[in-house]
Structure formats: structure tokens, C-alpha cells
Structure 1
């Protein structure tokens, strides 16, 4: 099957037409978000390294929260894409309702912790009192945006699942412009506005998230929208239906949470090396995310397209699409690695950091370039193919085992016991991605990841 798909890789015009229609708006949206994150880092970075480290540390809480909410959105998308393939509008609405309830609970939990007990959590990342206080100041404000973020993520994922990727892209663009504008005003104190530094960045984020949520609700709930419905449409479902959605979505949420907590532990490990190590990884993560936009966009398109084919009972197309996405992922990883090798040094000149931080960042980015084909392929398989096929449970097991049995232990061994440099720690934890791909490819060939979630749907 793999060799056959390589020979016929570019012959299916319908596949590429659909993929481009979905992936390009998602790519533009992700690119805008990643660009904004880099602009935030640049603006804060012009103040100093303490501020970069503080915002990076505080955003570890949002990073974990956003992954969980993203897991809720991905869980909804897994179902809605298949229900859309089966043209089951009723269950689309009910799935959206379950997602909103889940998002509300998670938002309430994270906002409460961020407001009431931020210090014990943030102190895990740094012992520097200046950085710690700046992190607390930022988190106290930005956590008020968590509920708005949840509603936005769930509605945006649902819109993409029914083939409307343009709306979230346009609204995200407007929110990003708003964020960047208020960053400029409030971080630096332009005109009559006070110079608030990291607190200004937090306020700008809160304003932008509120705008994004409001616009998504207005357009998603208008009369002709597929997602539009009343309270009864969203929340009048049986316990059996709720359990079905949760049983299949929970592995996605746990997967995102597991990966997010692991990434937080990576940051803790880097923090044992020093503030410069945190600054270097914060900068390189921002750059890597910018270049991984195509990967995340393709994985979202894969989830929707494969889910649609399963819902429409097209098994042959499901298998063909899965192999095409895998091959394209390998090619994309090679291209991304080459581009980053040439572009990264120039991008790093934009950051006002010490020479030590710059050298470490360049070394970490070189490691990323080498590992890009492996990383991109694992993301496409786990986030796109397996989830789109309804096999989120296997994705969770694979992610959890490789991260917690390989990646995280190696990070702490390298940082705490072997006292390695930040770039050497980044190198040894790449064993996680290699192992993940070695296990994921045989699972792809077995075809046991194909599950029709629309069967026996209880309402």
C-alpha cells in the first residue's frame, strides 16, 4: 500500500482540493497565532531577559490549559467530522453542547487555581524572585481570558469539522490585530496609556480573547449556520450519549494534557539549568511553532477528511487518505528542516538577548531541523490520522509511554544529574520522537485505527 501510494501520490485531485480548502485557512490562522506569539516575545524581549522568562513561565499554565481545551475541541471535531460525513445535524449540536460543558468545567478549574494559588505552581519553574513576581502579575490578568478561549476553541474546531475553515481564520486575524495593537499601547505606554510591561501584554490578550469569542458566537449562531441551535438542541441529550462522547473524547483530552504536562516538566528541567536556558527554549519554541504551522494545519485537515470519509462509509478512501498524509508529512518535514537551517539565524537577530542565549538557541534549532521529518510525521499520524479514525485511545497510550518513559526522564537525567547544557538536553530527548514514529508506523499498516463513531448513536 505504501509503495502504491508513493507512485500515485499526486493523482487524486479531489484529495488535494479538499486538503487545500481546509488546510490553507487553518495554516493562515495558525501562522497568524504563531506570528503573534513571536511578536509578543519580541516586544517583551525588548524590555529584558527576565520579562521573556517570566511570560514564558506564566504561559506554561495557559499552555497546559490550552492543550486540554484543544483536546476538548479535537474530541468534538473527531465526532462532528464523522457526523458531518453522515449528515447528522442533530448529533452535531449535541456534541457541541457536551464540548461546551466540558470546556466550562476546565476553565473554571484553571482560572480558580491561577487566581488563588499561582505562586506554588510558578515557583516550580524558577527560584528567581523577580521573574517569579513578574509571572504572577501576568497570570493574574491573563487567566480571566480562559473561559472566552474555551468557547472560541470549541466553536472554531466545530466550524472546521463541517468544512468552514475560513470563518475561524478571519476572526483569528482580527483578534491578533487587536492583541498586537494593545500590546504596543500597553507594554510601552504609547500616548495616554500607562507603561505596564508584562501586565500590559496580559491585558491585551484578555481584550483580544473577548473579541474573538464574541465574533465566533455571533457568526456561529446566526440563522443559516450549521452549528446554530437553541438551548434544547445543544444540551438535551441522554446520559448514554454524554458517556459516548466523553469515553471517546477523554483520551484526546488526556493525550493533550499528558503531552502538555510533559512539556511543562521539560521547562522545569530546563529551569534547573538556569534562566538563560529558559529564555533560549522560549525563543526556540516560538520559532519552531512558527515553522510547524504547516504540520498542524495538515493534521487538522487529515482529522476532518478522514473523519468525513469514515462517516460516509468510504473505507477505501479512508485508507488511501491516511497513507497520502503520511507520505506528505515526511516530505513536509524535510522541507521545514531545510528552511529553518537557513532562516533561523536571521530570525534570532531580532531578539535582544545575550550571546550565550543566542548560541544555545541556534544549537537547539539545528536539532529541530534534523528531527523535523520525524516530528512532523508523528504529529500527522497521532493528531490527524488516528484521531480522525476514532482511535484516540491508541494515540494517548503512544504519547504517554514515549514521553513519560523516555523523554521526561532523559530531560531530568541530563539537566539535574549529568549537568548537561540546554542544547545537549534538547538533543537527548529527541529519542522520544524517534521511538514514537517507530511504533506508530506499524499501527498505521494494521488498519485497526479505523472506528466508525456514528454507529449506534444514542440521543
Structure 2
């Protein structure tokens, strides 16, 4: 059914009794009742997802802040080494999003058996990528660090961290996919609880390494912090396995080789490859931007390390609204309820705008406190002050773009728009301009940082226009005879 923008609300009022989905079946056409029900469904997803994102961002912040106590070089080195983990997480996000698309829509049909097959297929892909990153990070850490900086001290410290933390990749690959499938089945609380437990474990082990066992010993402290991350990830995977055995409808086992799995594997690849490419293009752009910063000055690297942590903490609810909204939209589309998907998406967009503004304002509010927590030299501190102002405007565009491009479009099977958008905006416009600013025109570091963060501003009008066309509304499920 083709849905036209001009009469969507009238169509909704006429057909709402026929097209209800899940908890929204009882809605009688009242906007107030619809909003209350949608808010309840959304909050039950957004709060746990946002909390988990907060935990993940806080875990990175803990590593950076605690190692910053040792010295600025150690903090900068670990921050740069974390870019390898960040690139790996892009693969996890692509794979998990692909699994989430199928899971959410089949969850709308209450087809748990197909979801089990999707999870098994996805786990194999995720584990394979994890093994590749483990081998490279363990065997060639110095080479990877040289791609990010030419500072010998940062390369030395970063290689120590990277070689050790690589052991966490295997566990992380499996647990992240399991969390994604549970979220798409509207069970986001488990992942939030496990992430919080692992965070406290990580913090405790970090504190022991930095303040008790290895004070004043940078190399051993870095090694200890990396081992703490490995332990936390292994505990996380263990909790997932126990939860799967005792409480979950989704189990850990190898996928079969029958016709149904071949069909689902084709569907998974069809929607995952464009999303994976999009994450790689976007994340690769961020990594190149970080590399540009790393080759400008060590002081700018240190300031960027802190600014990135603050920004990631500020936008946790923005990421939550994106993920939660994608689950609900996918669920509605799985039952061909396009009217509900449109109405819900409009409300979610409003929330994304509000949360983006709140995130930006929160950065400006806590800005004076950041200097009290982290010790930087005067040059790095001046860079950080300017970067936080830039992060404030970045949050608004990021919140809306992630909700539309990273949430609605993939949930509706429109996985290619984000890919082309990032190719044009990041790789054809922003990164070449940033390169010229850094190495040809030698602009001030803050102006360079402004240019690097223009991508979300450029993408915003493109995302809104594409959203308003409603071409992303698709039901991608198939009737599978089990």
C-alpha cells in the first residue's frame, strides 16, 4: 500500500481499528491515547538501551580518566588504540543492525523459530570478524598504531594496550549480537543489567591496577587496564550463555544448512551488507579524522580524547531513541501496519530533536567541571574548551540523523541511503576539506575540528527529505515453512 503524506492522519483514524499492533491494539483513534501508549512502549526500550550506552561510554571514560592520572601520553595512546576497537564495533553494529532488522519484523509476527535461526546465522558472521581483528591486533599492534599517529611514545604505549585487549574481541563479538537480538524482541533490560555489572567490575580492576598495584608504572598499568577489559568481556559473555540456557527463547548453537537457513542468510546479507558498508564508510571516516588529528599534534589528540568521551556520554539517550524507535517501527512494519509506523516515527522524531538539544546544552553546562576531572596542559585545555562548544551543536544533528538514517531507514529495509549519504558527505566533502585544512592551509586546530564535525549538519536536510517521501516503509518478512 502506498502511503501519501497529505492524508496520513485521516487514513490512520479510519483504519486504526483494523491495523493495531502489540500493545497498541487497544488504541481507539485518540491521539492522546496513542501518544501515551507509544510513550510507554518507547520508554521501556529507550531507557534500558540508553543506560547500556551510558555504561559503554562510561567504561571508555573510566579507562581514559584513570590512565590520565599517570600522564597525558598514556591517556592519548590508549585513546588512539581504542580506535581499532571502534572499527571492530562498526562491524558489530552493522551485523547487529542487520540481525535487528529481521528480528524486529519477525517479532511483530511472533515468529521466534525464525528469530533463533537469524541469531545463529548472525553469530557466525560476528565471530569470524572478531577472530580476524584479534589476529591483526595481537600480531601487528605497532603497525596499527602507526596508522593513527607518528609519535613514537604513543605507538609504544598503544601497542601494549592493543595486544592485550585483543583477547576481549572474541567474547565481545558473540555477546553484542545476543544483546541486539534481545533488544529487537523488546527485552532491553537484561543487556543493561549485565553491562552495569561489567562496568563496576571494570572500574574496580582498573582502580586496583592504576592506584594500588602499578602506581607510577605506565607500561604495567596499561597492561592491567587492558586485562581488566578482557575480564569484564568474558564475564559478560558468561552471563549471556547462562541467560540463554535458563531464561531465553533464543539459544546458542550452530546454524543448520537447510533451505530455510539459506533463504534467511540471503535476506540477512541483502540488508546487512549495505548497512555494514555504511557503518564502515562512516566509522572509517571518523577513524581517518582521528588520524588527521593524531598527525597534527599530541596536544590536540589529548583534547580530542576527552571531548569524544564527553560527547558520547551526552548523546546516550539520543542513541537510545534511535535504537528503540527502530525496534518499534520494525515491529509495526512486520505486520504491514504502515500507518502506525508513520505516526510513531513522527512522534519519535520530535523526541530525537528534544534529546539532541538537551544533550548539547548538557555539554555546555558540565564544561567547567571537565577541567576539574582531567589534568591537561594549557594548550590541550584551550583546545578542549573550543571542542566542547563544537560538540554541543553536533549533538542536535547527530540525534536526528541517527534516528532517521540509523533507525527508521534500516528498520524499513532502506539500507542504502545512509551508505550513499556518508560516501558523499564524509569522503567527498568533509575529509578532503579536513585534509586541506590540516596539512595545506594549516588552519587553527579548533577550526579544523569544526570542519571535521560538519558531516552531521550536511546530512540533516538530506535525511529529513528522504524521510518525508516514505519510501522506506517496507515489510521484509517472508512466509517460512518450518
Q: Classify the TM-score, shorter chain.
A: over 0.9
Distance 2:372 2:31 in 1: 43
Secondary structure of 1:12's match?
helix
Give yes or no for contact 1:406–1:429 (8 Å, CA) kept in 2. no
1:221 shift after superposition: 2.9
Residue 243 (structure 2) pairs with residue 197 (structure 1): no
Q: Report the equivalent of 1:171.
A: 194
Secondary structure of 2:295's match?
helix
Secondary structure of 2:373's match?
coil
| Cα distance per residue 1:244-286 (max 9 Å; x no partner) | 2111111122211221111110011101211111111111000
Q: Report the equivalent of 1:293.
A: 316
1:458 shift after superposition: 8.0
From 362, 367, 381, the counterpart of 1:358: 381
**1:312-391 aligned within 5 A:** 312-391=335-414
1:233 shift after superposition: 6.8
Change (3 A) 1:253 1:191: closer
Change (3 A) 1:437 1:287: same
Change (3 A) 1:455 1:50: same
Give yes or no for contact 2:214–2:221 (8 Å, CA) kept in 1. no
| Cα distance per residue 1:412-431 (max 9 Å; x no partner) | 11111111232111212333
Distance 1:191 1:394 in 2: 49
| Cα distance per residue 1:63-111 (max 9 Å; x no partner) | 0001111211111111101110011112101110111011111011111
Q: Report the equivalent of 1:305.
A: 328
From 260, 270, 283, the counterpart of 1:247: 270
Give yes or no for contact 2:150–2:295 (8 Å, CA) kept in 1. no
Give yes or no for contact 2:175–2:236 (8 Å, CA) kept in 1. yes
Q: Report the equivalent of 1:137.
A: 160
Residue 67 (structure 2) pairs with residue 50 (structure 1): no
Distance 1:55 1:114 in 2: 14
From 49, 62, 67, the counterpart of 1:26: 49
1:341 shift after superposition: 1.0
Residue 443 (structure 2) pairs with residue 444 (structure 1): no
**1:267-286 aligned within 5 A:** 267-286=290-309
Distance 1:40 1:235 in 2: 45
| Cα distance per residue 1:306-348 (max 9 Å; x no partner) | 0111112211011111221222211221222122111122123
1:28 shift after superposition: 1.3
- Once the two structures are overlaid, the 10-residue window that deviates more, 65-74 or 225-234, is 225-234
Distance 1:239 1:171 in 2: 33
Gapped regions of structure 2 (runs ≥ 5): 10-29
Secondary structure of 1:189's match?
helix
CA RMSD of the aligned region, Å?
Answer: 2.4
Q: Report the equivalent of 2:117.
A: 94
Q: Report the equivalent of 1:206.
A: 230
Q: Report the equivalent of 2:23.
A: none
Distance 2:323 2:167 in 1: 28
Distance 2:424 2:109 in 1: 34
Distance 1:191 1:327 in 2: 49
Residue 173 (structure 2) pairs with residue 150 (structure 1): yes
Secondary structure of 1:221's match?
helix
Structure number with bigger Rg: 2
Distance 2:74 2:134 in 1: 22
TM-score scaled to structure 1, two decimals? 0.94
Give yes or no for contact 1:298–1:380 (8 Å, CA) kept in 2. yes
Gapped regions of structure 1 (runs ≥ 5): none
Q: Report the equivalent of 1:85.
A: 108
Moved over 4 A (4+): 1-5, 7-11, 229-237, 456-459
Residue 232 (structure 2) pairs with residue 215 (structure 1): no
Distance 1:352 1:330 in 2: 33
Distance 1:413 1:22 in 2: 43
Q: Report the equivalent of 2:438.
A: 415
1:9 shift after superposition: 8.6
Secondary structure of 1:35's match?
helix
1:433 shift after superposition: 1.5
- Once the two structures are overlaid, the 10-residue window that deviates more, 87-96 or 400-409, is 400-409
From 283, 295, 309, the counterpart of 1:260: 283
Secondary structure of 1:448's match?
coil
Distance 2:6 2:454 in 1: 25
Secondary structure of 2:53's match?
helix
1:457 shift after superposition: 5.1
1:42 shift after superposition: 0.9
Count of paired positions: 457
1:10 shift after superposition: 9.1
Secondary structure of 2:147's match?
coil
- Once the two structures are overlaid, the 10-residue window that deviates more, 390-399 or 358-367, is 390-399
Change (3 A) 1:191 1:51: closer
- Once the two structures are overlaid, the 10-residue window that deviates more, 402-411 or 282-291, is 402-411
